[in-house]
């Protein structure tokens, strides 16, 4: 397994990976809701690679993308010490240590960049992800009540944080 930065030549593979991960039902997008063209995805990847406040890493196994982690750092003096994380791993590759490796790589980036606080949200019912985040050192900060609507029903999210 290789952990590396997302590159422009990953565009098609990244679109396919996002579709698989969105289909899990635990991401912000509903299954099938994310409609992005290759051109728009390329522009987004270029923007991420040019913006020093963002870091986007992918996991690759045998040439296939299997997961990602994105860090979106604050841009102002008061919040540039903090970054919001987004993690996704292809369902068929879960439980193989991919998420842990992605987290460890982003922890190293954060330490190197002077980012002292990492934060993320997780759907309350996503117990496996919640347990992973706790294992990686994240602490429960609070609960966002009815923050999402899934299948027409309100769903809560947990806010978690980790100090580096």
Residues 11-33 have pLDDT tens digits of 999 999 988 887 776 666 666 66
The reported pTM is: 0.92
Average pLDDT over residues 135-152: 96
Could you tell me which residue, 36 or 70, shows the higher pLDDT? 70
Helices 98-113 & 127-135, crossing angle to 10 degrees?
Answer: 50
- Provide the domain limits for residue 8: 2-163
The CATH number of the domain holding residue 15 is: 3.40.630.30
Domains identified in the chain, total number: 1
Q: What would the pLDDT profile of 43-80 be if each residue is shown by its tens digit?
A: 999 999 999 999 999 999 999 999 999 999 999 999 99
Cα–Cα–Cα angle for 36, 41, 47, rounded to 5 degrees? 140
């Amino acid at each position: 397994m290789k952990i590396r930065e997302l590159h422009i030549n990953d565009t098609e593979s990244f679109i396919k990976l996002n579709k698989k991960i969105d289909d899990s039902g635990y991401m912000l997008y509903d299954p099938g809701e994310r409609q992005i063209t290759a051109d728009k995805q390329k522009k987004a990847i270029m923007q991420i690679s040019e913006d020093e406040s963002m870091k986007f890493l992918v996991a690759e196994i045998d040439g296939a993308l299997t997961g990602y982690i994105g860090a979106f750092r604050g841009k102002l003096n008061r919040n540039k010490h903090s970054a919001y994380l987004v993690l996704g791993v292809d369902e068929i590759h879960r439980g193989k240590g991919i998420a842990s490796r992605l987290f460890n790589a982003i922890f190293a980036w954060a330490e190197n960049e002077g980012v002292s606080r990492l934060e993320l949200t997780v759907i309350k019912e996503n117990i496996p992800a919640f347990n992973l985040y706790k294992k990686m050192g994240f602490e429960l900060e609070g609960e966002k009540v009815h923050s999402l609507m899934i299948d027409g029903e309100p769903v809560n999210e947990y806010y978690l944080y980790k100090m580096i």
